[in-house]
Chain A
Amino acid sequence: MSAFFDEKYDIAVIGAGHAGCEAALACARMGLKTLVLCIDLDSVALMACNPSIGGTSKGHLVREVDALGGEMGLAADDCFIQMRMLNTGKGPAVRSLRAQMDKRRYHERMKAALESEPNVTLRQDECARILTENGAVFGIETALGASYACRAAVVCSGVYLKSRVHTGEYHRDRGPSGLASATQLSDSLKELGFELRRFKTGTPPRVAKASLDLSRTEPQYGDFPIPHFSFMTDALEREQVPCHLTYTNEKTHEIIRQNLNRSPMYSGSIHATGTRYCPSIEDKIVRFADKDRHQLFIEPEGLTTDEMYVQGLSTSLPRDVQEAMLRTIPGLENCRVMRYGYAIEYDCIDPTELTPFLMSRRIPGLFFAGQINGSSGYEEAAAQGIYAGINAALAVKGEAPLVIGREEAYLGVLCDDLTDKGTNEPYRMMTCRAEYRMLLRQNNADMRLTEKALGTGLVSPARYDRLMRKKEEIRLASGALKRNVPASEALTKLLTDRGSADVRGSTSLEMLLKRSGITYTDLLAIYELPAVSDEAREEVEAEALYGGYVKRQQEQIEKLRRMEKETIPTDIDYMAITNLRTEARQKLTRLRPVNLGAAARISGVSPADIAVLSIYLKSRTEDENAPR
């Protein structure tokens, strides 16, 4: 049989976008011979849409990828041209970092990371077929006719499967940015029993910077000192580039309304499901007709290009309409379009066919990550990529999967939502989806995940050392804060300055830190406290401020863990549990949750159903344990 294959690998990663790169690097760094196929090597880690990484909740994902030993955070710290912390006034749990990228450099940086990995073979070709033997993955075939042996495959095909782009009356079978689409893998997946769905996304036009009058827009600058993504990055210094805010207006909207019939979304050319999170401008005008303007965000695509990305103006309207509407916008009156916006539709699978760690429930060794799973966004893709990569490698090694729960990471929420509930539109991570948000701060991603990933070998000794140092600093600082201090003049002055009530008698430093507006640094100026790193300080402050919430959420997690300990046997026949409601029986049969906790989160399964199921499981165990 081995003569049949041209080459042999442990793992094949199909696609080298943001999911594929992380998956491949994880597999290779875990010591496995990894083949990475990419339809065009000039599109490795291509930022096909906006030139930024991070943002609300996505910034959390980047930090989590980093904490697991991934590449995205490091690459973003290397290639950023602007860093900005969002939500700074809304509490530490939802603070999130966003970085503008030089997208060409980002591509080169990621490609170089793959190239420098001795276990990675990076090759330009298109996967045509996934081969299985006895129901498990054992190789792939490519469009160029090669066949490669592998024991696991990670499908990271992004938006390339049978993709079709639309700009007005222009429709072509293409991938993003004029790249080729992948035409064969869809049929192979269908052969393997996957039901394919059609999703749609889109991108706005790019305009030439030289043609803009940026004085008519509002500049937005990066932060200083410059924050960073990776827990391994030290202080950054770099000149930053601003972005620019401007707005649509009634004239813009009028042009769009008059030309709606020429939009492929409204003329019926596109049948796929778009995302509510990232609607096209024509969608916004129709759905939010009462809004008299929409904000636009002009972002540079890099330092060596004149192209500017017009965020907020995603559209598939015809070329002439795009030109006309752009010209109504302050600062863009004389703009020259360099690339027109387009909508793209593509095949993806139903992620409820996957286990929570992204492997097919039916075909051992077959993993999926990124937009093929119905998600949207670079960060969502990267998070799934490293997770699927780690678990593919563990599967090949015959080790138990690494499972990250929704109480541990946004990554856990993302994968749990996708595989447990499924999604009817491109899924975007959102802060409000994470119920344990008070615990899942971007600053403690390392404390949540790095030790968990120790067994994979992806955590370098240096990374581990940093974590240990941070934990020690936090321990010392928290200990010192327990101390009681008497009222004093210095304290009264501080409290008055911060608009906080004065202290009578004495109080603990921790109680002072709980007060809003009082920081560790403030207290350090008055009292003897350990001087700690910014990372440790932010954690200490967050823990003091939200100690009560942290405790409540931890109690909720305990409850969840108890439910998750109640595993549901795979051979359970829900249809035979007569007390379950029909809808619950059908949903449970289709989604096959692994434990009671997962079952409880399925919409359409009520608490009463869970009670019935719990009793059924208990009586079943008793029956099994009963003497015969």
Chain B
Amino acid sequence: MLDKTVFALSTPVGGAIAIMRISGENARPLLERLFTGRIAHRRVSYGRIVDENGEIIDACCAAFFEAPDSYTGEDMAEISVHGSLAVARRLAEAIESTGLAEKAGPGDFTRRAYLNGKMDLAEAEAVMDMVAASAERSRRAAAMQLEGRLSAVIASLYERIKLACARLANAMDDDTGEAELDEAALAAEFTAAANEAEELKEGGLRSRILREGARVAIIGSPNVGKSSLLNALIMRERAIVTAIPGTTRDTVEEQAEIEGLPVIFVDTAGIRETDDEVEKLGIERARREADYADLVLWLVDGTRAIRKEDIDVLSGVRGKKTAAVITKTDLDRAVYPDADGLINGLPAFPTSAVTGEGLTALRRGMAELLLPENPHSESAFPESIVTNSRHIEALGRAADALFAAARLIVSGETDAAYFEARSAMDAAAQILGTEDPGEELVDAVFSHFCMGK
């Protein structure tokens, strides 16, 4: 039953180090086949991992634990290799090709630990709960496959920005008047790079929304009907999954499905709004929630004219996809969208939580805003190459800075354009882990331009 030796990667890919765990009676012979270092109980030694063809996969550290003094109670080996996708994959292939072990199923290690009396059932269950996040597992698996492509794409974006930066730097540091700047061409180049960054970011956002759910923040001044709308949206959908207390004590998150999309509503229903100064409360909370939201629903009370406090709440969420929702349309109506269907320049949705009027349109509208029809969607969706939210954020910063650079270069503010372009370069460098973009830029200036006296 437990006679098979199993192996699995026990760290997320993308870290500095990847740890491959092997448990079972073949752990030792397997290590002897692949690892050049010393193998002894509770000893970590340095060596190389060599595959069956004698090819070195990586320099690494390996630890060995003899039964029963291991996590699973069986013979166990842990091999720590560099955290790159290619290395981890080659290591897994090498292990499998020995025929001595097979890939572990979810929770295999913990199950073994329980059966070998290494932990009690409660402990084991707790661990299993963590492991059970199978979606997370598949996300990681996908990330593994895509990591190599991501680096290549970001690296080419980085090179593109770097060269444009070097062009600017050359113009700024030119004493001769010879380095003529073709502003229009450079602006076009910055815009193209900005679009590239933006597209990568959007693709990342889309895939994240599909995998993890879109975060939708409901904001609005007190008593505009935030809770009622939320309840109406999810009750009608009959798709409440769980109510999870959010990370901030005051926020409540609700998961639901909207037009087939997984959505996490972030709501402030749990807060007694009289607790705080009305104005401050609304604006600050809106800002905080909007920080993490993919979409913001800005609620205005349909029974009264829009007030300053409504606008103040909205002012905290600049730069986010936002829709205006007019509530309480079943009562005397005081707010109407303009001829284009907009309020404050935002797409508007009149709704009634009581009658259900407008909720279908709102749901469709939300889906449309979250995942707009995209001509590139076939390629960017659902398997975007950008998955890490830190990367998505960095790409967003890069895109914004590049658009700004394009604008500034045309208005003759070369120094400011350079500042923006350099920020974009730094953002891309952050994704790649480039150590000294400044020095690379100086090198680029010198290798591409004949500058100086």
CB within 8 Å of B: which residues of A?
Answer: 50, 55-57, 86-87, 89-94, 98, 220, 275-279, 284, 287-288, 291, 294-295, 297, 311-312, 314, 421, 428, 430-433, 435, 437-438, 516, 545-546, 549, 603-606, 608
Contacts and interface: CB of A to CB of B under 8 A. Distances in A.
B175 A98 contact: yes
B453 A432 contact: no
Interface string B228-256: 00000000000000000000000000000
Given A56-B175, A93-B415, A432-B441, 5 more contacts: A90-B413, A90-B414, A94-B172, A278-B453, A430-B442
B178 interface: yes
A604 B411 CA distance: 38
Interface string B439-453: 101100110001111
B450 A86 contact: no
B450 A294 contact: yes
Contact of B450 (A94, A291, A431, A435): A291
B253 to A, nearest CB: 30
Interface in B401-453: 411-416, 418-419, 422, 433, 435-436, 438-439, 441-442, 445-446, 450-453
B63 interface: no
A99 B412 CA distance: 24
Nearest to B176: A295
B130 interface: no
Given A55-B175, A431-B169, A284 B419 contact: no
B218 interface: no
Contacts of B441: 432
Contact of A606 (B173, B176, B435): B435
B16 interface: yes
A57 B453 contact: no
Interface of B: 16, 169, 171-178, 411-416, 418-419, 422, 433, 435-436, 438-439, 441-442, 445-446, 450-453
Contacts of B450: 279, 284, 287-288, 291, 294
A276 B447 CA distance: 9
Contacts of B433: 606
Contacts of A433: 438, 442
Nearest to B411: A516
A546 B411 CA distance: 13
Nearest to B423: A552
Nearest to B448: A288
12 contacts: A56-B172, A56-B175, A89-B414, A90-B412, A93-B416, A287-B450, A294-B450, A295-B177, A430-B442, A432-B442, A433-B438, A605-B435
Contacts of B445: 430, 432
A90 B171 contact: yes
A380 to B, nearest CB: 14
A291 B179 CA distance: 13
A contact face: mostly helix, strand, loop, or mixed? loop
B435 A608 contact: no
A244 B453 CA distance: 14
A276 B441 CA distance: 14
B67 to A, nearest CB: 29
Given A86-B175, A431-B172, A603 B415 contact: no
A93 B416 CA distance: 8
Contacts of B436: 603
Contacts of B414: 87, 89-91, 94
A36 to B, nearest CB: 29
B412 A516 contact: yes
Contacts, number: 99
Contacts of A546: 416
A443 B412 CA distance: 19
A545 B413 CA distance: 10
A603 B438 CA distance: 10
Nearest to B412: A89
Looking at B169, B171, B414, B415, the one whose CB has the most chain A CB atoms below 10 A away is B415
A199 B438 CA distance: 23
A91 B178 CA distance: 18
Nearest to B175: A55
B410 to A, nearest CB: 10
A94 B415 contact: yes
Contact of A90 (B415, B422, B442): B415
A148 B446 CA distance: 45
B452 A278 contact: yes
Looking at B171, B173, B438, the one whose CB has the most chain A CB atoms below 10 A away is B173
A98 B446 CA distance: 22
A604 B412 contact: no
A431 B166 CA distance: 12
Contacts of B412: 89-91, 516
Contacts of B176: 295, 297, 312
Contact of A432 (B173, B178, B435, B452): B173
Given A433-B442, A435-B438, A603-B436, A516 B413 contact: yes
Q: Which 9 A-B pairs have the closest CB atoms?
A: A91-B415, A90-B414, A432-B169, A93-B415, A603-B436, A277-B452, A276-B446, A288-B450, A55-B175
A432 B418 contact: yes
Contacts of A287: 450
A276 to B, nearest CB: 4
Nearest to B426: A435
Contacts of A606: 433, 435
B81 to A, nearest CB: 15
Nearest to A434: B438
B413 A91 contact: yes
A288 to B, nearest CB: 4
Contacts of A220: 177
A311 B419 contact: no
Contact of B452 (A91, A428, A437, A604): A428
A275 B451 CA distance: 11
Looking at B177, B411, B445, the one whose CB has the most chain A CB atoms below 10 A away is B177
Contacts of B174: 56
B173 A437 contact: no
A50 B453 contact: yes
A549 B416 contact: yes
Contacts of B446: 276-277
A288 B448 CA distance: 8
A90 B172 contact: yes
Given A603-B436, A604-B435, A430 B413 contact: no
A579 to B, nearest CB: 10
Looking at A432, A438, A606, the one whose CB has the most chain B CB atoms below 10 A away is A432
A279 B172 CA distance: 19
Nearest to B449: A288
A432 B172 contact: yes
A56 B415 contact: no
A147 to B, nearest CB: 41
A437 B173 CA distance: 12
Nearest to B410: A516
A438 B435 contact: no
Nearest to A98: B175
A50 B175 CA distance: 13
A175 to B, nearest CB: 20
B428 to A, nearest CB: 15
Looking at B175, B446, B452, the one whose CB has the most chain A CB atoms below 10 A away is B175
A549 B178 CA distance: 28
A51 B411 CA distance: 34
A549 B418 CA distance: 11
Contacts of A294: 450
Nearest to A438: B419
A91 B417 CA distance: 10
A103 to B, nearest CB: 16
A91 B414 CA distance: 6
Nearest to A291: B450
A295 B101 CA distance: 69
A94 B453 CA distance: 18
A535 to B, nearest CB: 19
Looking at B16, B436, B445, the one whose CB has the most chain A CB atoms below 10 A away is B436
A87 B414 CA distance: 9
A432 B435 CA distance: 17
